A and B are shown apart, each in its own frame.
Chain A
Amino acid sequence: MYKHSKHMIKTDIIIIGAGPVGLFTVFEAGLLKLKCHLIDALPIPGGQCAEIYPKKPIYDIPGYPEVLAGNLVDNLMNQIKPFNPGFTLGETALNVEKSANNQFIVTTKEGTQHQAPVVAIAGGLGVFIPRKPPIQNISSFENKGVNYIVKDPDLFKDKRIVISGGGDSALDWALYFANGFCSDVTLIHRSQQFRAHPDSVQRAMDMAKNGKLKMVLDSEVIGLEGNAHLEQITIKTKGAENSTITTDYWLPLFGLTPKLGPIANWGLEIEKNAIVVDNSTDYSTNIDGIYAIGDVNTYPGKLKLILCGFHEGTIMVQSAFKRIYPNKNHVLKYTTVTGIVGFDNK
């Protein structure tokens, strides 16, 4: 189901954002025989539900007294399976342009191109980017000793590294690198307690006891020094003098934060970090053929709820159908009557 291609991907509706609203829109589009392709910056489908709170229960999905966010995503993936959507995951939709034949071309930062007559932005809160510590000169060391994510572990082979953070990402990488991969690994955390999985925390404690991992607690990095590359960090520790560590790399792994991202520059009408849509008709934006549904849009009375996004996606695809097939008459059908007739006999 997860297809990556550097060729032009052609579909009926390009959905930007593979969160619950984007996923359910595939279903409603599928009922109208419209094919969808989803683009998401995250490497997995599900958006916030999968990335931020997969184990949190949701209580306001109709028909589900309680459902874990991660399970809701799993169910939606099952529900849309017959309609065989395409996915471009781990890539950020960077720009959109209109071709001569009235098609939209959406290109990702990684260069993958998608073509469709309709674009639906279901981007939720936006693109999730790493949280960057507010250290004044941090940007001058980005990719010159400061890395917010670990893309290629080999970059750190036999190097001295410092990792900051108390979550799973920080602990998991600290354990990985301290196991003989790096020459020196230090884990710095602001507290004595960790948010990461208790098993990881215990393993890190054991490694610290065995001298494989240096652990600096109640501390945070407050300064970076170096010339062309990071050379030294300054650490502030509760109740102690500031200290320094000489290092090759610092990995601040403090999780992700959402930003509206490149779609903010697409010429869409934006109000308070959300895309203004016409809620009286079809959730269309000010650009003909581009719709916005779910948490990413705004209109009078807007409620940022998954269930409202489901409704918006459902209404939107009806409009998309008329746009794609102006000469076809469409009658609303009920799934209880027609069942689910998927694509490719799936």
Chain B
Amino acid sequence: MSADNFIKITVIDRDGKEHLLDAPTDMNLNIMELCKSHNLPVDGTCGGMAMCASCQVYIETDHVSLEKSNDEQAMLDEAWHVQDNSRLGCQIPITSKLNGLKLKIAPEVVEDNEW
């Protein structure tokens, strides 16, 4: 992996702190995986199948198209804290076009642990 294969992505955590990350473009990673690899608080419970919305992020720059697949849109239609700029991190592959991207992690949904 050469330095050419890294881009810069800024992730704002739930405390408002900005994290400037070096994101590899040649590892087949997505935004959810990038966040997890830096121990940022993204669950990715379903593993990246657009089936849980625990990796919801708000896109703060215009690097990423807000067009979504039907699966992603359907999941967002049933998620909480959804805004117009919401995306599922697991559905955004990291490519060189995302250099300079800034995004914010959506609030955590605290489900009470009843059973």
Contacts and interface: CB of A to CB of B under 8 A. Distances in A.
A123 B109 CA distance: 22
Interface of B: 45-47, 49, 51-52, 70, 73-75, 77-78, 80-82, 109, 111-115
Contacts of A129: 111, 114-115
A166 B77 contact: yes
Nearest to B51: A52
Interface in A265-315: 304
A190 B82 contact: yes
Given A166-B74, A189-B77, A255-B78, A125 B113 contact: no
Interface string A165-177: 1110000000000
Given A52-B49, A53-B49, 19 more contacts: A52-B51, A53-B51, A109-B115, A125-B45, A127-B115, A129-B111, A131-B78, A131-B109, A132-B111, A133-B80, A134-B80, A134-B81, A166-B78, A190-B78, A191-B74, A195-B75, A254-B78, A259-B113, A261-B113
B52 A257 contact: yes
Contacts of A191: 73-74, 77
B49 A195 contact: no
Contacts of A127: 115
Nearest to A94: B115
Interface in A184-212: 189-191, 193-195
Interface residues of A, number: 34
Interface of A: 41, 52-53, 56, 92, 94, 109, 125, 127, 129, 131-134, 139, 165-167, 189-191, 193-195, 254-255, 257-262, 264, 304
A281 B105 CA distance: 39
B46 A52 contact: yes
A167 B78 contact: yes
B25 to A, nearest CB: 23
A166 B76 CA distance: 11
Contacts of B82: 190
A56 B45 CA distance: 16
Nearest to B114: A129
Given A165-B78, A254-B78, A193 B45 contact: no
B90 to A, nearest CB: 13
A167 B111 CA distance: 20
A311 to B, nearest CB: 19
Nearest to A194: B74
Given A56-B49, A193-B73, A257-B52, A262 B115 contact: yes
Nearest to A295: B47
B114 A195 contact: no
Contacts of B77: 166, 189-191, 193, 195
B111 A259 contact: yes
A113 B51 CA distance: 34
A162 to B, nearest CB: 16
Which among B75, B78, B111 has the highest number of chain A CB atoms within 10 Å? B78
A56 B115 CA distance: 28
Best-buried of B45, B49, B112, B113 by chain A (most CB within 10 Å): B113
Nearest to A133: B80
A304 B114 CA distance: 25
B2 to A, nearest CB: 27
12 contacts: A41-B115, A53-B51, A125-B45, A134-B81, A134-B109, A254-B78, A255-B78, A257-B111, A258-B45, A259-B111, A261-B115, A304-B47
Contacts of A52: 46, 49, 51
